[in-house]
Amino acid sequence: MAPIFRTRPEKDQTSNHGAALSDNDSEDSCSVPAGSLDAPLTMRDMREFMRGLKSYVAEELQKPLQPLHESLTDLAMWTHKVETKMEDTLTMVNTHDTAIQEFREQIRGLEEAQKD
Question: pLDDT for 72-94, tens place per residue?
Answer: 888 999 999 999 999 999 899 88
Is the same domain home to 58 and 70?
A: no
The whole-number average pLDDT for the span 93-98 is 90
Question: What is the radius of gyration, based on Cα positions, of the chain?
Answer: 33
Tell me: do 87 and 75 sit in the same domain.
yes
pLDDT bracket for residue 25 (50, 70, 90):
very low
Residue 109 has pLDDT above 90, yes or no: yes
The pLDDT, as a whole number, for residue 64 is: 79
Tell me, yes or no, whether 81 and 110 share the same domain.
yes
Of 22, 45, 43, 25, give the one whose Cα is nearest residue 34.
Answer: 45
| One domain, residues 113 and 69 | yes
What is the total count of domains within the chain? 2
Indicate whether 12 and 57 sit together in one domain: yes
pLDDT on residue 60: 82
Same domain for 79 and 109, yes or no, is yes
In sequence order, what are the residues at sequence separation of 6 or more whose Cβ sits closer than 8 angstroms to the Cβ of residue 11?
A: 30, 31, 33
pLDDT 10s digits, 31-74: 445 555 566 778 888 888 888 889 888 888 888 777 777 888 88
Give yes or no: residues 48 and 88 share one domain: no
Which of 29, 47, 63 is the C-terminal boundary of a domain?
63
The amino acid at residue 77 is M
DSSP structure class, residue 103? H
pLDDT of residue 77: 92
* pLDDT band, very low/low/confident/very high, at 21 (cuts 50, 70, 90): very low
Say yes or no: 28 and 39 in one domain.
yes
Range of the domain at 33: 1-63
Phi/psi region, residue 16 (left: phi>0; alpha: psi -120 to 50; beta: rest), is left
Residues 98 and 108 in one domain: yes
* Max mean pLDDT range (5-9, 29-33, 109-113): 109-113
